[in-house]
Amino acid sequence: MLILSLFPLTLTLYPTYARSLMFTFNLINESNARAILSWRYEPLYDLYNYSELEANLLQHILHPQNTFYSILDENGELVAYCSFGQDGQVAGGDYHEQALDIGMGIP
């Protein structure tokens, strides 16, 4: 079963093997954006690490037109983020077909 509601978006999953999981999607705030920029990944995924050289990235993430969302668990803890549209695209992707691009990151 999947339940979606808007403002904020809440997603509830009912897997057959475990209890339900609830996640809330909110437009990102500065605190969560800073947390995300501090996440570090091991190789092969270290290309997603943000560097100090990308100082303007904070303002980019916070700008409402760029549609970045914090994903919070049932306790209100930041567990992931996502973006939609052009910010969901990755370098080298084939974007000739019309689609909604979704980018996601987890710590």
Residue 34: band (very low, low, confident or very high) from pLDDT cuts 50, 70, 90: very high
Is the confidence at residue 4, as pLDDT, over 60? no
Q: How many CB atoms lie within 10 A of CB 64?
A: 8
More confident residue, 88 or 66: 66
Full-model pTM: 0.75
Half-sphere exposure of 43 (CA within 13 A, CB side): 0
Residue with more model confidence, 42 or 86: 42
Q: What percent of the chain has pLDDT over 70?
A: 79
